[in-house]
Structures are given as C-alpha cells and as structure tokens.
Structure 1
Amino acid sequence: MSVMDGRTRPGSDLAGRYGMLTAMVLAVLGYQINATMLSPALPDVIDRLGTTTAAAGLSQTLFFLMAAIGQVTLARLSDGLGRKPMMIVCAVILIIGNVLCVFAPSIEIFIVGRVLQGVSAAMFTLSFLALNQLLTPAGFGKAAGIITAINGGLAGIDAIAGGHIADTIGFRGIFVVSTLIAIAGLIGVHRAVPDMPPAARDSKLDSRGVIALSLGLTGVLVGLAQGSTWGWTSGLTLLFLIGGLAAMVAFVLLQRSGANPIIDIEVLASRRAWPLLLTTVCTLGGAFGAIALTIPLFSQDARVGLGLTALAAAVLFLTPIQLIGVISAPYTGRIGPRIGWRRIVVTGAVCNVVIFAFATVFLHSTWVLFTALAALGVTYGGFMLTGLNGLAVTSSPKDKPGSLSGLNGACFGIGASLGIAIASALIAAGSDSQGVTEAGYTNAMYAALALLVIGLAAALLIEKPAERADDTGDAGDDEPQLVLTHH
C-alpha cells in the first residue's frame, strides 16, 4: 500500500473498480441531463408554463447558482462525514427536484424544482474526491476523464432525445428520464461505492461563510439575470447587486478570521487557486452561456435566427460537442498526469478563444457554427473540463482536500450561472415588440467571447508546478510522485 498526501490508495489502477465507476457515471448523469436535455426544450418550457424568456433564464441561472453553493457545502462536509453519505444525499435531493419539475403547474414551482436539482451538482466533485482517495494517480486520471465526459451529457444522445421530447410530449418527459437515471444512480452508489474513512478529522463547516457566500452569489447573479427586466437602476436591482457584493466581501473577511474556514485565505490568494477559479468561472460563463441558452434560442428563432426545430437544433449544435467530448475527455484524463494538468488547461483555453471567435462572427452560417461547436468538443468538452477538474484536485491542500476542489466545482456552477445571466440579460435587452432582435443574440455571443478571453488570461497566470512549494507534498502535476507518510 502507498500513501499520497495522507490518503490511502490501492496499488492497482481501475481493475475491479468498474462497478463503482458505473455507479458514479449514473449518479452524475442524472444531474447532468437536466442541463443538456433541457436546453433545446427551453422554448417549450416558456410556452407550456406561460412564462417569459427572462423567467426561463432565471430558472437556469438559479439551477447553476445552487450547483455552486451545493458543491462548496457538500464537498467540505464530505471531508469529515464521508464521500458516500454525501453522494446519497445528492441523489435524493435530485429525485425530489425532478418530481417537482414533472408536476410543476407554474414557473414558480418549476424554479423550486430546478433549485433542488442544482444542489445535486455536488455529485461531480464528490465523485472526483472519492476517485482521488481510492485510486492511483494514473487510475484517477482515467476515471476523471470518464466522469468529465458526462459533464457534456450522454454522447449527444440526451440532446437529441431532449429535442424530440420537447417536440412531442413536452419538457416534463425530460425530468421523468432524469428521475429514472437518478434512482439507478442512487442504488448503484449505495451498493458499489465503498465506505471511505473521512479525509479530514474536522467535520465542522463554516456556516457563516457558507451563508455569506450563498447570499453574495445569489445577489450578484440574480441581479445580473433580472436587471434588464427590473431596470438596471431600479431599487430592486441595485439591492441585489450591491447586497451581493457586500456579502462577498464579508465572505472573504470571514475566511480570513474564521476558526474553520471553507478554504484558507492564503491558499485562495495564491496563484495555484485564484487564477484557476477565475479560469473556471470565465470558461464556463463564456461557453455555457452560449451553448445552453443563446444558441438554442437563436437556432429555433424563425424571425431572426435559423428557424430550426428543437430536434434539428439539438442534432446540429448540441450533439457534436457532447459526442466528441465523450471521446476526448477520457483521452485527456489519460495524458493529463503525464504532460501536466496546467498545460492541458492553457492549451484548451487558447483553442476555445479561436474557435469561439469563428462561431461568433459566422453565427448565421449553419455549417460554420456546426463545425465550431464540434471542435469545442475537444478543446472545451475534453481539455478544459477534464483539465480544470484534475488541476483542482491535485492542487488542494492535504488537510482540506475538499476545499479547493469544492470551490472549483462551485465555480463551474458560478460560471454557468453567470454566463446564463449575462446572455439572458443581453437577449432580453435586445428585444422589441415582436421578440428578440438579431442584436440581442449577437451581443450575447460577443459577451461570451469576452469571458473566454479573460479565462485565457487567467489560465496563463496559474502557478506552474515547478514554482510550487506547498503542503500538498507532490512535485507538481507534471511529474506526480507518491509521498510516503507514517501514521
């Protein structure tokens, strides 16, 4: 037996662990298809619930916002209470949220269901932490690539199915499918995922920090999402935005002075943490805001868009990135431990900016847009998503292994929520009496591109492994080493 960063690992790779990996895949897929399958069905949600584009955008914003909050809280709780119990909690919450969305009579109940579904996003971070605790570095890389592949959906099949369901029986059928998968994942986690000793002795959670972070994220993101509807200078918008920023400042102060912070402020301020988190936020904000909201709405807009059906839009613009991502993410997981997770992230960030620039300029060209999104299957679905997860797990401080990875997982939700909020606000602002104008979609795409450029700049600032002399005990992600410790 060998020990890495104080965590016991078996000497074997993935041998004998495929039942466990399958259970984790089902568990994360139950959450993920609520994002990928629903995207082409958003127009159907608006129509059947008699709501607006802004309200539908808010439901997406809150979905990813709660994903951020859930990952911070449940990942840190799992350090002391165990990975498996928290995974079971996630699955149960997801099932409850799905049932609410299936029977939702109004947009308000639908939003409550989406909020609960969002919390279950912590299943991704919990799976990465469990795999890192159970497997060798090489085995973790392979398994992390497979789990990351699910982050884009089920090889595009779910996007096609979501479009077909939206065109036929309506959006509610999507949540029926998600519920069945979530139940299978719950059973699989209970039976196949082994019990693991707590990774940290202290299971206390900084409740004040969690509350401040939750209020801060909610204020800023809801304010951005609803600003165009409420009015950017209205008292309600300013209350959310200013209150949210104040809560974020309080969060930083609490982390500096608290006895048991979510993450040490010194770690958060280091170049191994904040540039990584900023890269994740901007990458998800740029890519997801366009992929999950702007492009699905634009492609189905018969007045100024491409005028496609939900099924056609899913096949052309969602399926390629997911299908290619399923192939590229596991491959990235294999090479990541060898060439370095940071190098993977920087390469992906550069390619994403170039590809997205083409997609933005040639938005009305169906086949250029199709080709660009297919290429993102490699650079975004493979390199970025896998690299960011791998870098976060391997860079976490050994005494709180769930801290940095949990915050990075939260940044996936924050970024996606921010991207949706900005896209929704710009699309709504670019509307006239007849509906969304071409300028609304174009502005949303340029905003997404700007976020990706900021993400690239942040990626270049991430500390190189050779520069790091920290408490993780390894020489950097370029050359992973096992460090023996004695208990």
Structure 2
Amino acid sequence: MSTSHGRTRSGGDSDLAGRGPMLLAMVLAVLGYQINATMLSPALPDVIERLGTTTAAAGLSQTLFFLMAAIGQVTLARLSDQRGRKPMMLVCAVVLIVGNVLCVLAPNIEVFIAGRILQGVSAAMFTLAFLTLNQTLSPAGFGKAAGVVTAVNGGLAGVDAIAGGQIADTIGFRGIFVCSTLIAVAGLLGVRRYVPDVPPTTTDTRFDSRGIAALALGLTGILVGLAQGAAWGWTSPLTLGFLLGGLAALVFFVLSQKTAANPVIDLDVLASRRAWPLLITTICTLGGAFGAIAMTIPLFSQDARVGLGLSAVAAAVLFLTPIQLIGVVSAPLTGRLGPRLGWRTVVVAGAVSNLVIFVFATVFLHNEWILVASLAALGFTYGGFMLTGLNGLAVTTAPKDKPGSLSGLNGACFGIGASLGIALASAMITGGSDAGGVTEAGYQHAMYAALALLAVGVVTAFLIQRPDPAQEAADGDSEQGRPLVLTHH
C-alpha cells in the first residue's frame, strides 16, 4: 500500500502549542554537536600544547570535522527521505557520542582527529531537524521553530564559549567533550521519546554509494591540500597529489550523477538559480565568517607575541560570547520575519551587512574594542539573518517531491564552507609564520581571505532566483491564517 501525505488546514494561531518537548529534544540534539565547534575554538591552543602537535595539525582536525559535517549532511538527509527522519537522527546521536569518547581518551592527534571526524558526521542533525519541522509545522510555525534551532548554531548563548575557555585554562580540552557527551545523551533520549516518526517521502530505496565515496574523496583531497599546503609546500608532490586527486574525484562525481539511478545530487536542481547561487552563498558566508570566528580570531587574541595576548577565558568572553548571545535573540526574530519579508531578502541583507562589518574587523584587528563591537554586530547579521535565512530559503524552495535534496545540499555547504574557511585560515596563518611563530602578516592574510569569500557571497546572494509570487502568497496566507497539519491516506 502506498502512503501519501498532504497538508490540511486547521484552526489556531500557532501550531507550536504543545510542541515544546519536541523542540527541546531537537535543541539538545543539535547542541550536542554544535558545542564541539563553539566550545573548542578558545581551547585550540590547549589542544596543540597537550597533544604536542602543531597549528597545521590542529587546523587539519578542524577542517576534517567540518568536512565530515558536509558529507554527513548530504548523505543522511537523502537517506532520511528513504528511511525516515527520526531513525537518522538517532544514528547521528550515537555517532556523536562515540566520537566524543574518542576525543576524551585521545593520547595523540591521530586519535583526536578520528574522533573529530565522527563528531562531524553528526552535523546532519541540523538538516534532519529542519526537515522534520517543515513537515510537521505550518510556514509560520516552521519559521519560529527554525529560528530557535538556528540560535543553537552559534552555541549556548555564549555560555559554552566562556565554559570552553575556562575548561581550557583549568582541566584542559578533554572536559569539553565530556560536556558534549552528557548533552548528546540527553538529546538522544529526547529524540527517541518526543520527536514524531515522519513517514519517508520516497519509496525508492536505492542509494548512490559510488557517488558518496567520490564526493567524500574529492572534498577531502582538496580541503586537506589547502589546509596543509603551507606546511607541506604548495608545490610538493603530497600537496599536489591531494589537490589534483580531489579534483579528479569531484569530476568523476559530477559525471556519475548523470547516470546514477538515485543520485546524491539532482543536477537539474543544482543547475537552477534557486540552488547554485544559494549554495555558493552558504559556502562563502561560512568560509569567510566562521573561518575567522573559529580559527583566526581565537588564535590571534591569545597570541602574546603579535596578537592581543589574552587568556582563553578572556578571548571567549570578548570575541565569542557576544556573537552567540545576540544570535540567540536575533535568530528566532529572523525566523518570524522570514516568511513575511521573504527568505531571499533576509539572505541578501545579511550578506551585505556581514561584508561591511568584516571590513571594520580587518582594518581594526589590533583595536580590541572595535573588534569586540564588530563581532557583536555579527550576532545580528551572521548569527541571525544569514544562518536562519540560508536554512529557511533552502527548506522552503526545495522541490516538493525531493524535500531533502536542496536542504541536504545546503547543509553540506555549511560544512564545506566551514572547512574551507578553516583550511584557508590555517594555510594563511601557517604561511605567515617565522622561526618565532606566527607573524602579524599571517593573521592579516587570513582576514583578507575571509573578506574575499564574503565579497563573493554578496554577489551570489543577489543572483539567487526570486521565489514564485504565487508560492510567496500561499506562504503569506499560511502565515496569517491557520497551521498546516499532516494527514495520511
């Protein structure tokens, strides 16, 4: 018997009523993953010291973490179309817990990197949460709930960044992963009990394992080559092997998608102006903003030689906490505005604002208080407008017969952008080092690379196709009217 599900209208002002436990379970599930990024940023110098490793190796661990986030997003999102959202969310939670345990017990950088890879895969929890919310709530309810979940994308209102710095200054980075494990276990239990079983959206159970393997190899080759190029030498056989091998794998991946029975990426969707400009905007936004926030600024602010010479706690309080704390407020607000103003409008406004703010941050990098104010402003433009807007636009404009396609791709681009940003920042910082350590030029070049990516993101944001007016009108009616409830036949 085939199962179809449509949407019917029912009365009421908001279909979020009674959904508190479900939303809380999703928040805990995504937070378990997210604090591995936000809490660890101020602890990177501690990781380097305790594991006896280098800036390049620590940067590689971050690059692979976000790279696996990309691969996990696109893979598990498509699998959830076939197997259901909730089973894949439970898989994500278990993989995250295993990765955390490896990082807690890691005796060296190699085991640490293995744990980070597993943690990265669990990033798919974000996309799975958005897809579930979109299938169970009205456009208005989805906007509000998406804003709440997106607020977690910057961490726990800045508390986690301060806690990460405090843990790094006292017991060391391993304590961060103990905290993540406790939250991940709570999220696992909450998802199992409170998240509804949303039926699969397709009966096609074929899976393009060849395409996934080629995509993984291609992205890994290019991003590892970029991250390690400065350390290995840009013309060394190892660097060229990774870069050229990765490029060849990506070419094979694109060609394989044309003949695959159930491709990972729908090339027709990808070729549309509702898709490729959005995806490039996501990559460039994350590459520019997150690369600086998670790598360049934490290292610069704690560098006693050419930076600001702050402690891990002070760096977290000044440069990480404001953007996260403001993001917690601005992301839900953006979620309410998105259906009314249009998600594309939100994305364009955020992209332009981010670029302007980063110009100030780059020019006044050594002015502590201007840098603090600039990063705090990113709480609105990056933590609110861009992160919520990009997710909302991807979910609401996806093909109705393949709802996981565009959101899965966009989720993957979050990981690709973050890993690209970390790789470029790491390469610029490493390349700008001398016998005494990182130079001022190294940090400046990393900020210039971030600016270049954000500028490209502004251009592609304007290229995103405007939504169909009829669809916008329908969403507006749903916003003003009654929630949508799933029915099954």
TM-score (norm 1): 0.95
Q: Which residue of 2 aligns with 1:304?
A: 306
Q: Which residue of 1 aligns with 2:315?
A: 313
Structure 1 position 71 matched with structure 2 position 69: no
Q: Which residue of 1 aligns with 2:460?
A: 458
Task: Name which of 471, 476, 484 aligns with 1:474.
Answer: 471
Deviation at 1:257, TM superposition (A): 2.1
Structure 2 CA distance for aligned equivalents of residues 483 and 276 of structure 1: 29
Structure 1 CA distance for aligned equivalents of residues 477 and 215 of structure 2: 33
Give secondary structure in 2 for the equivalent of 1:348: helix
Code of the aligned partner of 1:205: F
Code of the aligned partner of 2:215: L
Deviates more, 1:406-415 or 1:477-486: 477-486
8 Å Cα contact 1:75/1:122 also seen in 2: yes
8 Å Cα contact 1:9/1:136 also seen in 2: no
8 Å Cα contact 1:138/1:334 also seen in 2: yes
Deviation at 1:185, TM superposition (A): 0.3
8 Å Cα contact 1:228/1:428 also seen in 2: yes
8 Å Cα contact 2:6/2:488 also seen in 1: no
Code of the aligned partner of 2:282: T
Deviation at 1:194, TM superposition (A): 1.1
Task: Name which of 174, 194, 197 aligns with 1:195.
Answer: 197
Code of the aligned partner of 1:309: S
Cα 1:483/1:91, change in 2 over 3 Å: closer
Code of the aligned partner of 2:332: P
Q: Which residue of 2 aligns with 1:362?
A: 364
8 Å Cα contact 1:27/1:91 also seen in 2: yes
Structure 1 CA distance for aligned equivalents of residues 50 and 477 of structure 2: 52
Give secondary structure in 1 for the equivalent of 2:366: coil
Structure 2 CA distance for aligned equivalents of residues 273 and 483 of structure 1: 27
Q: Which residue of 1 aligns with 2:292?
A: 290
Cα 1:409/1:477, change in 2 over 3 Å: farther
Deviates more, 1:396-405 or 1:56-65: 396-405
Provide, for residues 419-462 of structure 1, a one-character-per-residue CA deviation record: whole Å limited to 9, x for no partner.
Answer: 00000000000000000000000000010011000011010000
Deviation at 1:323, TM superposition (A): 0.1
Give secondary structure in 2 for the equivalent of 1:318: helix
Structure 2 CA distance for aligned equivalents of residues 480 and 93 of structure 1: 40
Provide, for residues 284-342 of structure 1, a one-character-per-residue CA deviation record: whole Å limited to 9, x for no partner.
Answer: 00001100000000000000000000000000000000000000000000110111000
Cα 1:228/1:222, change in 2 over 3 Å: same
8 Å Cα contact 1:34/1:174 also seen in 2: yes
Q: Which residue of 2 aligns with 1:470?
A: none
8 Å Cα contact 1:156/1:322 also seen in 2: yes
8 Å Cα contact 1:280/1:455 also seen in 2: yes
Give secondary structure in 2 for the equivalent of 1:46: helix
Deviation at 1:475, TM superposition (A): 4.5
- Percent identical: 77
Code of the aligned partner of 2:457: G
Structure 1 CA distance for aligned equivalents of residues 415 and 447 of structure 2: 19
Code of the aligned partner of 1:335: L
Deviation at 1:203, TM superposition (A): 2.9
8 Å Cα contact 2:136/2:486 also seen in 1: no
Structure 1 CA distance for aligned equivalents of residues 200 and 176 of structure 2: 36
Q: Which runs of 5+ in 1 are unaligned?
A: 468-472
8 Å Cα contact 2:8/2:487 also seen in 1: no
Structure 1 CA distance for aligned equivalents of residues 112 and 144 of structure 2: 37
Q: Which residue of 2 aligns with 1:256?
A: 258
Structure 1 CA distance for aligned equivalents of residues 235 and 42 of structure 2: 32
Task: Name which of 394, 397, 400 aligns with 1:398.
Answer: 400
8 Å Cα contact 1:91/1:120 also seen in 2: yes
Code of the aligned partner of 1:364: H
Deviation at 1:7, TM superposition (A): 4.5
Provide, for residues 57-109 of structure 1, a one-character-per-residue CA deviation record: whole Å limited to 9, x for no partner.
Answer: 00000000000000011000000100000000000000000000001000000
Structure 2 CA distance for aligned equivalents of residues 341 and 256 of structure 1: 30
Task: Name which of 34, 37, 49 aligns with 1:35.
Answer: 37
Structure 1 position 242 matched with structure 2 position 244: yes
Structure 2 CA distance for aligned equivalents of residues 475 and 432 of structure 1: 55
Provide, for residues 168-217 of structure 1, a one-character-per-residue CA deviation record: whole Å limited to 9, x for no partner.
Answer: 00000000000000000000000111111112222322111111111111
Q: Which residue of 2 aligns with 1:430?
A: 432
Task: Name which of 380, 383, 407 aligns with 1:381.
Answer: 383
Q: Which residue of 1 aligns with 2:447?
A: 445
Deviation at 1:229, TM superposition (A): 1.1
Provide, for residues 340-362 of structure 1, a one-character-per-residue CA deviation record: whole Å limited to 9, x for no partner.
Answer: 00000000000000000000000
Structure 2 CA distance for aligned equivalents of residues 88 and 459 of structure 1: 34
Code of the aligned partner of 2:467: P
Give secondary structure in 1 for the equivalent of 2:264: coil
Code of the aligned partner of 1:435: G
8 Å Cα contact 2:162/2:316 also seen in 1: yes
Deviation at 1:263, TM superposition (A): 2.7
List 4+ stretches of structure 1 deviating above 6 A: 482-487
8 Å Cα contact 2:136/2:485 also seen in 1: no
Between Structure 1 and Structure 2, how many residues are aligned?
Answer: 478
Deviation at 1:486, TM superposition (A): 10
8 Å Cα contact 2:86/2:197 also seen in 1: yes
Provide, for residues 369-394 of structure 1, a one-character-per-residue CA deviation record: whole Å limited to 9, x for no partner.
Answer: 00000000000000000000000001
Q: Which runs of 5+ in 2 are unaligned?
A: 479-483
Code of the aligned partner of 2:360: F
8 Å Cα contact 2:22/2:191 also seen in 1: yes
Q: Which residue of 1 aligns with 2:481?
A: none
Q: Which residue of 1 aligns with 2:325?
A: 323
Structure 2 CA distance for aligned equivalents of residues 460 and 80 of structure 1: 34
8 Å Cα contact 2:301/2:307 also seen in 1: yes
